[in-house]
Amino acid sequence: MTRPRNDTLLRALLREPVEYTPLWLMRQAGRYLPEYCETRKRAGSFMALCKSPQLACEVTLQPLARYDLDAAILFSDILTVPDAMGLGLYFAEGEGPKFERPLRDEWEIRNLAAPDPHDELRYVIDAVAEIRRALDGSVPLIGFSGSPYTLACYMIEGGASDDFRRIKTMLYDRPDLLHHVLGVTAQAVTAYLNAQIGAGAQAVQIFDTWGGSLSHAAYREFSLAYMQEIIAGLTRTHDGERIPVIVFTKGGGLWLEDIAASGCDAVGLDWTIDIGQARARVGKRVALQGNLDPSILFAGPDVVAIEARKVLHSFGPGSGHVFNLGHGISQFTPPEIVTALVETVRVESRSFHGPQSPA
């Protein structure tokens, strides 16, 4: 495997020198793009879109045709893993994802098994391979999965939750059962990400969306410990190239040093932490990704440019920064505003890189 022609993202994740700060956006292929909405309508449903390698490839490439981004990210959903475990994922109109068979009884939990990604998740692995072929060495492809704790939230609650009552009751009342769920899910995620790497993913991100809802001690025991287990089991080099691993815990600023010590190459930050302060805390241990508030994209292009510059200035000179939002882009974001963001970062970030800029 040779690096893509634009390998700026990979170099930044590995803290190698770059000419400018690379940029990609969480949920960059999504409902804010009219072309995505057209493809989704053609697919008939969200899951049909996810399960078609051809259509998943089509929507993965759409933002790259519109914007000068430094990476593609696989179009899929974090809940494909529990769906492959037999929980019956479906999407209710206006209600988000739900499971037909959430984990409620002990026998269901004891019977939980990690799926073979080359069998039950073959459609995702085929999509990775197809996207890599379509990218033709232009920019890197990022693969991803949800974290075990985040997946368990949906698996036990049965869908999205405001208070996480069921999973937190299990966490405190029957921690042995939750540890079993998390252990099996960690095995599944490790195999799934390794299959994505084998099919062509050149970096991977673990989305720990709900880790920030945990108490201080519970985060380490029930979220971070299992992400560390996954990282330790990942294929870190493939065809002679290093595969960077990004960990993103929404609301994880409290545990920044612990996440940086997990074995990952980069830590994703939400918008609640100053990226310059985060850099001072982690030093040269990891790269940092983030962390513009996605809501800023509802403002005008001048405001977006000002706020993007603030993030760049806060991180300061040198490599090790991947510009991103602090969470996924909203479906209500005007597509033309993203152009202003991308152009600002591409132009303004160059002054922070070069021989005079320390790594």
Known binder of ligand: residue 11?
no
Task: Assess whether 20 carries a catalytic annotation.
Answer: no
CA 204 – CA 142 distance, rounded (Å): 5
Catalytic residue among 67, 154, 219, 226: 154
Catalytic residue among 66, 77, 220, 236: 77
Known binder of ligand: residue 30?
yes
Task: Assess whether 27 carries a catalytic annotation.
Answer: yes
Residue 112, C-beta contacts closer than 8 angstroms, at least 6 positions apart: 85, 103, 180, 181, 184
Gyration radius (Cα) of the chain, Å: 19
Known binder of ligand: residue 28?
yes
Catalytic residue among 11, 15, 27, 279: 27
Task: Assess whether 40 carries a catalytic annotation.
Answer: yes
Known binder of ligand: residue 176?
no
Task: Assess whether 83 carries a catalytic annotation.
Answer: no
Known binder of ligand: residue 31?
yes
Known binder of ligand: residue 166?
no
Structure tokens of 355? 């021989």
Catalytic residue among 11, 15, 40, 346: 40
Task: Assess whether 42 carries a catalytic annotation.
Answer: no
Known binder of ligand: residue 277?
no
Binding residues for substrate: 27-31, 77, 154, 209, 327
Binding residues: 27-31, 77, 154, 209, 327
Catalytic machinery residues: 27, 31, 40, 77, 154
